[in-house]
Amino acid sequence: MPGGNGKLKVLVIDDSAVVRQVLTEILLSDPVIETVVACGDPFAAAERMKTFVPDVITLDVEMPKMDGITFLKKLMCQHPIPVVMCSSLTEENSATALKAIECGAVDIIQKPKTGTKAFLEESRIMVCDAVKAAAKVKVSPMCNVFHEIPPKLTADAVLEAPKGNAMIKTTEKVILVGASTGGTEALSVFLQGLPADSPGVVIVQHMPENFTASFANRLDGICRVTVKQADDNDTVLPGRVLIAPGNKHLLIKRSGARYYVEVKDGPLVSRHRPSVDVLFRSGARYVGKNAVGVILTGMGDDGAKGMKEMKDAGAFNIAQDERTSVVFGMPKMAIEAGAADIVLPLETISSAVMKYCTA
């Protein structure tokens, strides 16, 4: 947790000097982050931590002297500190980074790279937000340059607000889920609680591009429902879970009796892409009373406005409680917005959803 002045200290561990420099500049651009120390490998980091105790560590996945997973396991055993994995976009790295989540890492971010000014600004927002979210996590053993922040866009940037009621209520329900920090494990618990004939599920989990396919495959192997990364125009079917691909917005739409998803580009909405607000707004617009909304652990307020729009359209909404949330940000904001019908611990949400859907 941050020191008495509320400012954060971050330790960057990466064997690339360029990545260390870029991450240091990105992190110091946020007024909440006061100090950044960068090391080229875990051995140097361990030595530096004798005199410098960070609030958060960003950790490279692949390093020559010691890989990130090995260092993470030692850290979680001996001196638990919130860790954000910093990975390049390869299939091997995405699988390893997801393994790191199982070993105690809080989140995954994409390694920043050069690009347009807009791309670099989006990267800055995502990296800083991930680090600040991680600082709020209580890990257990296993566990000042200011840049003006651009205006936070709403779902209006992607989809118009719903006008009137969606369609008449039918017997076919659709479950719409939003999650962020801590969501990878929360979704595992939630989805493993669903039966094979569950109503169709559409999910936005804040995660970098190319990681969601590996994540979906991992879930598919442990759940009774089938899980896949969503492709444009995929049909929402009972027993099927569709997860938004990283770096793309995901919307649910309806054509006659068929629900399907649309995968599309667009700006960051509520500081994210994919955005829960975008998914939930589409649910309000096209699903209405047939929707069940679930908002899980995560920092920030993404999903709160969209969930309120779903509630106003007749949906039934559930928020995860504070005790079981890794970060009680997104659920809290949805609750305060009056968007949640009930607040439940994570382990009871899937049964509550099914009870409502079969009533």
Element (H, E) at 38: strand 33-39
Is residue 147 annotated as a catalytic residue, yes or no?
A: no
Bridge-based pairing state of the strands 56-60 and 83-87: parallel
> Side chain identity at 194, as an amino acid letter?
L
Burial 306-337 (b: 16+ CB within 10 A, else e): bbbbbbebebbbbbbbeebbbbbbbbbbbbeb
SS3 label, residue 209? coil
**Choosing from 206, 234, 272, 301, which is the catalytic residue?**
206
Cα separation values, 358 from 106, 122, 287, 319, Å: 35, 42, 17, 19
**Choosing from 30, 129, 234, 302, which is the catalytic residue?**
302
Residue written as tokens 């931590």?
Answer: 49
CA-based nearest residue to 9, from 82, 88, 110? 82
- Please enumerate in sequence order all residues whose Cβ is within 8 A of that of 210, keeping only pairs 6 or more positions apart, or say none: 89, 90, 91, 94, 246
**Choosing from 88, 94, 123, 180, which is the catalytic residue?**
180
Is residue 312 annotated as a catalytic residue, yes or no?
A: no
Q: What is the DSSP letter of 272?
A: B
For residue 107, which phi and psi values (nearest 5 degrees)? -155, 175
Is residue 272 annotated as a catalytic residue, yes or no?
A: no
* Contact (CB, 8 A) for 286 and 253: yes
- The residues that are catalytic are 180, 206, 302
